[in-house]
Structure 1
């Protein structure tokens, strides 16, 4: 797929950091985040999830945010945040996760 066909609204930043992930009614899982943008992220899913599942993700320095699973490929999942992060908040979270690597 060429860049012009990529439906993402923002470039995803590759990184590898631990975050918390949960679905409704389940306990939190420590998972690897694989890339990150103001609109969403890609994570290594700790349990089987499916498209349209509602999840909550805890990123360093901000309150837990709600998202929706957009796609699943084996044990990876793409999550779209319910509300995009402000650019300054995105940069702060990205720096905290980079420093934690």
Structure 2
């Protein structure tokens, strides 16, 4: 039986085909052992994000993303390419929090409903 961490890793990879919304959110990003720096989140899903990164970040590195009005979200670097970093959240983002962020920063009016 896989442990919870294995289950999360599988879910995070499978979610890549789920809604990954392109947007532009001012944020602060901090890698483990480093100083926080200003960033911009370029896309967001419940499992992760990509953002600009003035500092080289390495696969497996722990980081924290701070979005306006939210607590810092812990993640892990999955890739880094030409000053853009892709990270998986340590815990899946709540769909409600995800939708609230989209409503605030995306003009497409994406709202998840339950029928």
Q: TM-score range by the shorter chain?
A: 0.7 to 0.9
Unaligned runs of 5+ in 1: 1-5
Count residues in correspondence: 94
Deviations 1:30-68 (A, max 9, x none): 101111111100111120011111100012332101000
Q: Which residue of 1 aligns with 2:110?
A: none
Return the match for 2:82 from 58, 74, 85: 74
- Larger fraction in strand: 1
Calculate the aligned-residue CA RMSD, in Å: 1.8
Deviations 1:47-91 (A, max 9, x none): 001111110001233210100010111211111000011111111
Q: In the aligned structure 2, how far is the partner of 1:9 from the partner of 1:60?
A: 27
Q: TM-score scaled to structure 1, two decimals?
A: 0.83
Q: TM-score scaled to structure 2, two decimals?
A: 0.73
Which consecutive aligned stretches of 4+ in structure 1 deviate over 4 angstroms post-superposition?
none
Unaligned runs of 5+ in 2: 1-12, 108-115
- Larger fraction in helix: 2
Please tell me whether Structure 1 or Structure 2 has the larger radius of gyration of its CA atoms: 2
Q: Is the 8 A contact 1:24 1:54 kept in 2?
A: yes
